[in-house]
């Protein structure tokens, strides 16, 4: 027999597991929207609010994680390898996502038969994405130049992940070169990162509500 102090962790009931709650909320949301479409539309702010909470945390978590990880590696050669792998990983996944999107669009043809006039659609909600797409249509040189942020604050405000990664790699490498002198700064960023992860845990408690909306 296991004692209370040394025994295995208690098994979490199925209904208390987050992924089960999220799936159940999605199913309930679909059913609710089917039978009560007008009320279902009114639930949209729940999902939008949850997404905004996640986006709020994305940039600082990425920055702090990369900076702390690189600065504590110490070896700048390894830092270079990690930075290159991070950028390559980002680009490969972005390319895969693009290919999947093109395949799905060409096979399933979403929107066909909806009889919607594109000229009458409100495009304000996607202006941030279309402007970034237009900025990256000039080829490899423009793409590389777009990685370099005009301002650090601007890249965080716009949520440009690639620019944030680029700056975080440089900052982490610079702190690694400082050695012991940079340790207080890295410790401070690490503490901030732990706080951010705490916020993430709190936000994820509302994931079922966001999924329902």
Q: In whole angstroms, what is the distance from residue 139 CA to residue 36 CA? A: 47
For helices 161-178 and 44-71, the axis angle rounded to 10 degrees is 30
Mean of the per-residue pLDDT values for the chain? 81
User: How many angstroms separate the CA atoms of 207 and 213, rounded?
Assistant: 10
Give the residue with greater pLDDT, 2 vs 207: 207
- Rounded to a whole number of angstroms, the distance between the first and last alpha carbons of the chain is 46
* pLDDT higher than threshold 60 for residue 196: yes
Q: Average pLDDT in the 88-108 region? A: 87
14-37 per-position pLDDT tens digit: 777 888 888 888 888 888 887 888
Q: Tell me the pLDDT band of 45, cut-offs 50, 70 and 90.
A: confident
Report the CATH number of the 15-108+132-212 domain. 1.10.3860.10
pLDDT-derived band of residue 190, with 50, 70 and 90 as boundaries? very high
DSSP letters for the chain: ---TTTSPPPPPPGGGSHHHHHHHHHHHHHHHHHH-HHHHHHTHHHHHHHHHHHHHHHHHHHHHHHHHHHHTT--HHHHHHHHHHHHHHHHHHHHHHHHHHHHHHHHH-TTTTS---GGGS--GGGHHHHHHHHHT-S-HHHHHHHHS-S-HHHHHHHT-HHHHHHHHHHHHHHHHHHGGGGHHHHHHHHHHHHHHHHHHHHHHTTHHHHHH-
* CA separation for the pair 118, 175 (Å, rounded): 50
Residue 152 CA neighbour count, 13 Å, CB half: 9
pLDDT at site 157: 87
**Residue ranges of the domains in the chain?**
15-108+132-212
Looking at the whole model, is its pTM more than 0.85? no
């Amino acid at each position: 027999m296991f004692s209370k102090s040394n025994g295995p962790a208690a098994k979490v009931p199925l209904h208390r597991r987050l992924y089960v709650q999220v799936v159940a909320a999605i199913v309930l949301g679909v059913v609710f929207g089917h039978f009560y479409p007008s009320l279902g539309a009114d639930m949209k702010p729940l999902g939008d609010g949850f997404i905004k909470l996640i986006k709020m945390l994305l940039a600082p978590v990425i920055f702090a994680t990369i900076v702390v990880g690189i600065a504590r590696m110490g070896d700048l050669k390894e830092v270079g390898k990690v930075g290159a792998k991070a950028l390559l990983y980002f680009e490969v996944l972005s390319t895969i996502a693009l290919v999947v999107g093109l395949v799905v669009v060409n096979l399933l043809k979403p929107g066909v038969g909806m009889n919607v006039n594109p000229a009458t659609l409100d495009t304000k909600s996607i202006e941030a994405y279309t402007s970034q797409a237009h900025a990256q249509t000039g080829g490899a040189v423009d793409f590389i130049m777009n990685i370099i942020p005009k301002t650090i604050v601007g890249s965080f405000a716009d949520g440009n992940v690639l620019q944030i990664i680029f700056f975080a790699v440089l900052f982490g490498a610079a702190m690694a070169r400082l050695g012991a002198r940079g340790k207080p700064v890295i410790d401070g960023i690490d503490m901030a990162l732990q706080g951010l992860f705490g916020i993430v845990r709190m936000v994820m408690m509302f994931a079922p509500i966001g999924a329902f909306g």
